[in-house]
Amino acid sequence: MQAAAVELIDAHKRYGHVEAVRGVSLAIHPGELVAMLGPNGAGKTTSINLMLGMRKPTSGRARLFGLDPEDRRARSRCGVMLQESGVPDTLTVRELLDLFGSYYPHPMAPERAIALAGLEQQAKQQAGKLSGGQRQRLYFALAVCGDPEVIFFDEPTVGMDVEARRAFLHTIREFCREGKTIVLPTHYLEEADQLAERVIVIDRGVVIADATPAEIKSSVVGKRVSFTTTRPLSEGDLTGLRYSRLEVDKERVRLFSNAPETLLRELFRRGVDIHDLEVVGADLEEAFLALTAEAEKATVA
């Protein structure tokens, strides 16, 4: 196997009395697309900061291409798209691409970066006059303009419209086909499920899962059951039935059951009129919630 492009080795990070990262070890190899998930305050952002050299570990090590992340040789091979970046509002999109590209030894042609971001019509527009979604696309262009080998995308589609989001996800897939390494910290679990070959879940400063999306989803025993009823469910309709995470939105019912056949059979017996029935395995969101809930129980115990 190739040497890791990004690596944390028994990394710890303490802020005063709070240990945000508690012995995280992980390796991301060239060409992988890895999503990083975690609740707020779980240590995900701190782990990313350690990988990028924006923070130093209290103990343990971070490596980028086998080098210290602060090493210029490593940084010149890495691109980062943050949720908010400080760029001069008076410079145009094209001027910013020229400026940022000059920091890299072998930058991408500015025209390609602008096209990938869908900013051709805004190329001569000042950054301060871009809309929120256009600014996100600018940050994307700045992250890729150096033609880096590893790209970190932090919540990349926030503020993007549907068309821009679809184009962005397509570009991410193209980058993977080119052999680039993608690290995708995100709260959008649907995007992680669509894109990632591997998902790392961090909670309470430790890695609680590191597997393919399919493997993580299969770890949740049970099925998601959803259906529409012709009348609102009464308390008696569900009494004595085994289920979890019940959601009712007008006539649409959604719940989770380890025995969906038994559950549905009993609902039919009780006279519940069911339409548009769907029974599927857990999605990544449900698996994520189950994993973090299990980690919380283990911590309390």
Q: Which domain holds residue 41?
A: 6-217
Pair 205, 230 in one domain: no
Final residue in a domain of this structure, among 217, 245, 266: 217
In a domain, 297, yes or no: no
Average pLDDT, the chain: 90
Q: Both 75 and 167 in a single domain?
A: yes
- For 256-271, write each residue's pLDDT tens digit: 888 899 999 999 999 9
Residues 120, 47 within the same domain: yes
118 and 213 share one domain: yes
Tell me how many degrees the CA angle 163-193-136 measures, rounded to the nearest 5: 40
0.85 exceeded by pTM: no
Query: Do 42 and 72 belong to one domain?
Result: yes
What residues have CB less than 8 Å from 284, skipping those under 6 apart? 189, 190, 192, 193, 199, 213, 216, 217
Please tell me whether residues 114 and 225 are part of one structural domain: no
Same-domain status, 211 and 226: no
Q: Is the pLDDT of residue 1 over 90?
A: no
Q: How many independent structural domains does the chain possess? A: 2
Same domain, 102 and 242: no
Which of 282, 264, 283, 281 is CA-nearest to residue 273?
Answer: 264
> Where residue 225 sits, what CATH number does that domain have?
3.30.70.100
Give strand pairing partners of 184: 35
Higher pLDDT, 290 or 17: 17
Q: Which of 78, 33, 14, 48 is nearest to 202 (CA)?
A: 48
> Does the pLDDT at position 286 exceed 70?
yes
Q: Does residue 145 form part of some domain?
A: yes
List, in sequence order, every residue forming a beta bridge with 202; answer none if it has no partner. 207
Is pLDDT larger for residue 164 or for residue 221?
Answer: 164
pLDDT in tens, 106-149: 999 999 999 999 999 999 999 999 998 888 889 999 999 999 99
Phi, then psi, of 184 in degrees rounded to 5: -125, 85
Does one domain contain both 35 and 182? yes
Residue after which a domain boundary falls, among 217, 234, 261 = 217
- Among 175, 197, 217, the domain-final residue is 217
Interatomic CA distance for residues 111 and 271, integer angstroms: 64
Does position 221 have pLDDT exceeding 70, yes or no? Answer: no
- Same domain as 137, residue 69: yes
State the pairing for strand pair 198-203/33-37.
Answer: parallel
- Whether 65 maps to a domain, the answer reads yes
Judged against a pLDDT cut of 80, whether residue 62 lies above it is answered with yes
CA 65/CA 75 separation, integer angstroms: 9
pLDDT of 297 > 70? The answer is no
Higher confidence at residue 77 or residue 155? 77
The contacts of residue 121 (CB under 8 Å, 6+ apart) are: none
pLDDT digits (tens, 9 = 90+) for 157-202: 777 778 878 888 888 888 988 999 999 998 888 889 989 999 999 9
